[in-house]
Amino acid sequence: MSFIADTVLTEPSAMLDLGAAPRGFRGRIRGLRAFASGGLPAEELERRLLELGFVEGAEVELLHQGLFGRDPIAIRVDSATIALRRREAAAVLVEPI
Amino acid sequence: MNEMSAGLRDLRIALVGNPNCGKTALFNTLTGSRQRVANYPGVTVERKEGSFLSPGGRRVQLLDLPGTYSLRARSPDEVVTRDVVLGQQAGVAPPDLLVCVADATNLRLGLRLILELKQAGRPLLVALNMFDIARHRGIEVDVERLSALLGLPVVTTVAVRRGGTEALLAAIDAQAPASEAEAAWSAPDATGLRILQREADRILAAVVRVPDRRDAVTRRLDAVLLHPAAGLVILLMVLFLMFQAVFAWAQPAMDLIDTGFQALGAAVGGLLPQEGAAGLLRSFLQDGLIAGVGSVLVFLPQILVLFLFILLLEDFGYMARAAFLMDRIMGGAGLHGRAFIPLLSSFACAIPGIMSTRVIDSRRDRLATILVAPLMTCSARIPVYTLIIGAFVPDQPVGEGAWSWVGLQGLVMFGLYAAGILSALGMSFVFKRLLWRGQPTEPFMLELPDYKLPRLRNLALGLWQRAKAFLRRAGTIILSMMVVIWFLSSVPRPPEGATQPAIEYSFAYSIGQAVEPLLRPIGFNWQIGVALIPGMAAREVAVASLGTVYAVQDAEEDTAQLGQALAGRWSLATALAFLAWYVFAPQCVATLSVIRRETGGQRWMWFSFGYMLALAYVAALATYQGARALGLG
Ligand SMILES: Nc1nc2c(ncn2[C@@H]2O[C@H](COP(=O)(O)OP(=O)(O)OP(=O)(O)O)[C@@H](O)[C@H]2O)c(=O)[nH]1
Ligand SMILES: [Mg+2]
């Protein structure tokens, strides 16, 4: 299941997924596009991301990244800092601000 | 009993909230307990009960629960929380009141959980914790407005300060008797979660004013500590410093204890005659108690230095960062990123390490971590390592000038720790290939908490608890094993006119002789054989047993120190093989039983016992034969 806010549909070029974002990237979440990953079905990955605050409209900032393959990454979502892998972060669609 | 409370039954309250929001700190302050508090998510993994008397005179049964982001219960620790909150345990009614603890500096996810709990229809009371930090950072929360918007009573708390829970206590007393409403909760789907989070965000926007969303100190520290390259280097340096310190800082205190025990031994020796029944008593006190138990107690300072480091890292907030930095390396070995914290805790003891794997959702990932956790060098191995290193490795700096602060002994110690870590990674890689081929590791997601200054009281209490636990072990398991070892090595006494040393008539000698053929290929003598068997009860016992066996053997010579006794008797090859054995040595009985409990059966317990025994033997064999080939035999 995916959920994309309508603003996205009007200017799709500006969007990228959080898994591809560089360090220092700041943006706003426009939608989640979950897929099965690491043995979790798409629906479950989506719920886990939502539970950690990755909800449409939230502001995110990519604060840190690891050495190997720039992975994992630390994302600031509002008042929380969440560490995750780029692979799963790719399910979060963002628009730069 | 107070009249007010007459007729009222105990109030049952549970603490619920996100990980790391301060539930256990609140629990400790309210009940006077000393449960583990630390600055990373996932410290508490089981339910803990305590009780206190409210100011209104009501007896309250308080439950501390593992932290969670939702009631969906994905990992074993979260199952505990869900079952208590929803009253799903057989025969146990749900609590009368849920105190929802939320971190006032990081309200967003906590608020969503509160809204989810509200749907479950249980009586709720909201505690905005860490209010001191929020105030310090200039975060303003309109508590009354929040209470009105949520339709719930809201209080502010500072769990770590005396008097910081007054408002909470007052609110508990004001709580109306609980209704017996049924918990009606069903797991929210993605849409439900979105709706809840949006509502939480709306409320937040209305009641919270934040000058700066990020803690300035955390931001500055993370710029260095989470730097892709520098961060890894710093992590390595922290670990290296820790193992150096275990060796260097503890030495003066250890010498003091050692001198004390020697003086005690000499004093006892002077008081009692050597002959007859009194001689037997003298031997028991001198060789069994003082040489045996004393040889273990000497290591208390080292163990405390190690714990001090671990406690500092935990309280400071570094553990989650270490997990972040190590994630890819762990992943390469087939371990889950979250496995790093349990493995690091296993430096202290494998038991809490194995317990803390409960935060890992996937059973396979969890099992892999449990199987390799005992390979991490636990503090019980410190006595073994220190004894051998002290006896066989010269106490000198590694090099001149810039290297003069690095001791050779500390470096060898670090090498042994590294061997433990590498073998844990290697074995998990093998398990993943052999047992769980092609099954992916679950995603790594972990909240990184803000740094906090470690609290002196928490540190002191933590150290005191560890010291107490160590002394208790010395006084119970180790002491009783020592009595047995002393008995076996002193009885039967040699016949009149015996020509051999007395110990060669003892039971211990016979036992040692019986296992010696098995151990000869790995360079172990019969004394080591005798020490290995009780060493399974607790690893330090191996050292204590050697202390006793050699003390009985050398009764005539009044040997000063176990280390010297070994240096004179063991070849370097034997010493190295003994170290190699203990890198892998089968874990103590307590660890085995925790593995059985946590994996739900004997199978994995025997598996881990077997694979470690095999590894220990092979490693010792390779080391001994290799060293002999190099002419060190
Ligand atoms: N300054 C301050 N620190 C607090 C307060 N409450 C808790 N802490 C600190 O916050 C950290 C987390 O506290 P815990 O009590 O372990 O948190 P928890 O909610 O039990 O965490 P889990 O067991 O992992 O779910 C510790 O370092 C505490 O010392 C508070 O009110 N003020
Ligand atoms: Mg806790």
10-residue mean pLDDT profile of chain B (633 residues): values are 54 95 96 93 93 91 95 90 85 87 95 92 93 93 95 95 91 74 76 93 93 83 94 92 82 87 85 77 81 81 90 94 92 89 90 92 91 92 88 83 78 89 93 83 91 92 90 84 84 78 84 90 91 81 85 66 84 93 85 92 93 94 93 76
Backbone φ and ψ for B62, nearest 5 degrees, come out as: -110, 135
Q: Are B413 and B385 in contact (CB under 8 A)?
A: yes
DSSP label at B513? Answer: H
Distance CA B579, CA B416 (A): 8
Distance CA B285, CA B239 (A): 39
Q: Which residue has the tokens 């042994």?
A: B416
pLDDT digits (tens, 9 = 90+) for B128-150: 999 999 999 999 999 999 999 99
What is the pTM (predicted TM-score) of this model?
0.88
Structure tokens belonging to residue B466 = 């560890």
Give bridge partners of residue B60 from the DSSP assignment: B11, B52
**Residue of B26, B33, B39, B315 with the most ligand 1 atoms within 8 Å of its CB, for mutation:** B39
Number of independent structural domains in chain A: 1
Determine whether the interchain pair B442/A80 forms a contact, defined as Cβ–Cβ distance below 8 Å. no
What pLDDT is recorded for position B20? 96
Q: Strand B124-129 to strand B154-156: parallel, antiparallel, or no bridges (unpaired)?
A: parallel
Give the environment of ion ligand 2: residues with CB less than 5 A.
B 24, 43-44
Distance CA A34, CA A32 (A): 6
Pick from A1, A72, A82: which is nearest to B190 by CB?
Answer: A1
Residue A25 covered by a domain? yes
Q: How far is CA B478 from CA A10, B180, B290, B472, in A?
A: 73, 51, 12, 9
CB atoms near residue B9 (< 10 Å): 11
Summary mean pLDDT of chain B: 88
Helices (H) and strands (E) in chain A, counts: 3, 7
DSSP label at B110? Answer: H
Residue B50 covered by a domain? yes
Give B233's contacts (C-beta < 8 A, 6+ positions apart). Answer: none
Residue B401 covered by a domain? no
Mutate which: A59, A67, A79, A85, vs B, most B CBs within 10 A: A79
What pLDDT is recorded for position B172? 92
> In chain A, which stretches have pLDDT less than 50?
1-10
Q: Is B182 helix (H, G, I), strand (E, B) or coil?
A: coil
Residue B151 covered by a domain? yes
Q: Which residue has the tokens 């070995």?
A: B333
- Give the rounded distance of the alpha carbon of B448 from its chain centre: 20
Residue B414 covered by a domain? no
End-to-end CA distance of chain A, in Å? 26
Of all ligands present, the nearest one to the C-alpha of B462 is 1
Distance CA B109, CA A62 (A): 19
Q: Are B336 and B373 in contact (CB under 8 A)?
A: no
Question: What letter represents residue B593's amino acid?
Answer: S
Q: Rounded to the nearest 10 degrees, what angle do helices B540-553 and B382-392 cross at?
A: 50
CA B369 / ligand 1 centre spacing (Å) = 26
Of B139, B112, B116, B203, nearest in space to A55 by CA: B112
What pLDDT is recorded for position A13? 59
Residue B181 covered by a domain? yes
Q: Which residues of B touch A51 (CB under 8 A)?
A: 69-70, 72, 109, 112, 193
Residue B192 covered by a domain? yes
What pLDDT is recorded for position B437? 80
Number of independent structural domains in chain B: 1
Burial B26-55 (b: 16+ CB within 10 A, else e): bbbbbbebebbbbbbbbbbbebbebbbebe
Domain range for A24 is 14-96
Rounded to two decimals, the ipTM of the complex is 0.89
Q: Is B247 helix (H, G, I), strand (E, B) or coil?
A: helix
CA B37 / ligand 1 centre spacing (Å) = 6
Ligand 1: residue whose CA is nearest its atom 32: B130
Pick from B232, B443, B448: which is nearest to A67 by CB?
Answer: B232
Burial B291-326 (b: 16+ CB within 10 A, else e): bbbbbbbbbbbbbbbbbbbbbebbbbbbbbbbbbbb
What pLDDT is recorded for position A5? 47
**Residue of B16, B36, B44 with the most ligand 1 atoms within 8 Å of its CB, for mutation:** B44
Domain range for B147 is 3-213
In CATH, what number is assigned to the domain containing residue B59?
3.40.50.300
pLDDT digits (tens, 9 = 90+) for B585-611: 877 888 999 999 999 889 999 999 999
Percent of chain B exceeding pLDDT 70 equals 96
Residue A7 covered by a domain? no
Structure tokens belonging to residue B66 = 């593992």
For the CA atoms of A9, A14, A15, A17, the dihedral, rounded to the nearest 10 degrees, stands at: 170
Q: Are B532 and B577 in contact (CB under 8 A)?
A: no
Residue B187 covered by a domain? yes
Residue B94 covered by a domain? yes
In CATH, what number is assigned to the domain containing residue A63?
2.30.30.90
Our answer on whether the CB atom of B41 is closer than 6 Å to any ligand 1 atom is yes
Residue A20 covered by a domain? yes
Pick from A76, A83, A84: which is nearest to B214 by CB?
Answer: A76
Residue A1 covered by a domain? no
Query: How far off is chain B from A27, nearest CA to CA, in Å?
Result: 15
